[in-house]
Structure 1
Amino acid sequence: MVTRIAQTGLAAVASAVSLALTGHGGGPAAPLEWGGGPLTVDSLPRVTYVAHRGGAREVPENSMSGLMAAYRRGTAQVLDFDTRVLRDGTPVVFHDATLNRTTYLGGAVSGLDAREWRGVRLRPRASLPGSWRSERPPTVAEVLDRLGGRIVLMLEVKDPRGLDRLAALVRARGLTRSVLVNTNDPEVARRVHRLGLLTQLWRSARQLRTDRPGRWRSYVDVLDVDVKARDVDLMRAARSGIPRVWAHTVVTPAQRDRALALGCNGIITDAPGRLARHPGRVIGTASSVLGR
Structure 2
Amino acid sequence: MAPPTPPAPLTSPAALIALALAGLAALLPPPQWGAGQERAAAGVTIDTLPRLVYTAHRGGALESPENSMSGLTAAYRGGAASVLDVDVRMLRDGTLVAMHDSTLDRTTFSRGPVRELDARQWREVRLRGTRPAERPPTLAEVLDRFGGRVVLMLEAKDPRSLERLAAMVHGRGLTASVLVNSRHPEVARAAHALGLRAQLWRSARQLRTDDPSRWRTYVDVLDVDHRARDEDLRRAVRSGIARVWAHTVNTEQDRDRALRLGCDGIITDAPRRLTGAGGRARG
Query: How would you bin the TM-score normalised by the shorter chain?
Result: 0.7 to 0.9
Say if 2:197 and 2:219, in contact at 8 Å, map to a contact too: yes
Written as runs of structure 1 = structure 2, the 5 A alignment for 1:90-129 is: 90-124=95-129
Verify the 8 A CA contact 1:85 1:91 in the aligned structure 2.
yes
Equivalent residue, structure 2, for 1:200: 199
1:174-193 superposed matches below 5 A = 174-193=173-192
Report if aligned partners of 1:54, 1:70 keep a CA contact under 8 Å in 2.
yes
The question of whether the paired residues in 2 share the 8 Å contact of 1:252 and 1:275 is answered with yes
Provide the rounded CA distance (Å) in 2 between the counterparts of 1:65 and 1:133. 10
Match of 1:140 in 2: 139
Q: Please tell me the residue identity of whatever aligns with 2:152.
A: L
Letter in 2 for 1:55: G
Deviation at 1:277, TM superposition (A): 1.7
Contact 2:40 2:177 in 1 (8 A): no
Equivalent residue number for residue 244 of structure 1: 243
SS at match of 2:233: helix
> Which residue is equivalent to 1:275?
274
Query: What is the CA RMSD across the aligned residues, in angstroms?
Result: 1.4
Q: Give the unaligned 5+ runs of structure 1.
A: 1-32, 125-130, 279-292
Equivalent pair of 1:38/1:175 in contact (CA under 8 Å): no
Provide, for residues 156-182 of structure 1, a one-character-per-residue CA deviation record: whole Å limited to 9, x for no partner: 000011110000000000000100000
Question: Are residue 83 (structure 1) and residue 82 (structure 2) matched?
Answer: no
Q: Which amino acid aligns with 2:108?
A: T
> Identity rate of aligned residues, in percent?
69
After superposition, give the CA deviation of every residue in 1:109-141 in whole Å (9 maximum; x if it has no partner): 0000000000000001xxxxxx74310000001
Cα distance in 1 for partners of 2:210, 2:41 equals: 41
How far, CA to CA, are the matches of 2:40 and 2:266 in structure 1?
28
Query: How far 1:146 sits from its partner (Å)?
Result: 0.3
| Counterpart mapping for 1:1-292 below 5 A | 34=39, 37-124=42-129, 132-277=131-276
Shift of 1:34: 3.0
1:253–1:275 contact (8 Å) kept in structure 2: yes
- Deviation (angstroms), 1:147: 0.2
Tell me if the contact between 2:40 and 2:148 (Cα under 8 Å) persists in the aligned partners: no
Q: Is the 8 A contact 1:99 1:106 kept in 2?
A: yes
Q: Return the letter of the residue paired with 2:88.
A: T
Corresponding residue for residue 284 of structure 1: none
The 4+ residue runs of structure 1 with deviation greater than 4 A are: none
Normalised by the size of structure 1, how large is the TM-score?
0.81
Structure 2: unaligned runs, 5 residues or longer: 1-37, 278-283
What is the aligned residue count? 241
Deviation at 1:191, TM superposition (A): 0.1
User: Which structure carries more relative contact order (alpha carbon 8 Å, separation 6+)?
Assistant: 2
Paired AA for residue 69 in structure 2 = M
- Name the larger-Rg structure: 1
Please give the per-residue CA displacement for 1:237-261, whole angstroms capped at 9, x wherever unaligned.
0110001000000000000000000
Asked whether the equivalents of residues 40 and 147 of structure 2 are also in contact (C-alpha less than 8 Å), the reply is no
Kept in 2: contact 1:226–1:247 (CA 8 A): yes
Aligned to 2:35: none
SS of 2:248's partner is strand
Instruction: Report the alpha carbon displacement of residue 36 of structure 1 after superposing the two structures with TM.
Output: 5.7
Structure 1 residue 35, shift from structure 2 partner: 8.5
CA distance in 1, matches of 2:249, 2:78: 19
Q: Measure how far apart 1:37 and its partner are.
A: 2.0
Q: Sort the Cα spacing of 1:187 and 1:35 in 2 relative to 1 into closer, same or farther, 3 A.
A: closer
- Give the 3-state SS of the residue equivalent to 2:174 in structure 1: coil
Letter in 1 for 2:83: V
Give the whole-Å Cα distance in 2 for the aligned partners of 1:159 and 1:267. 24
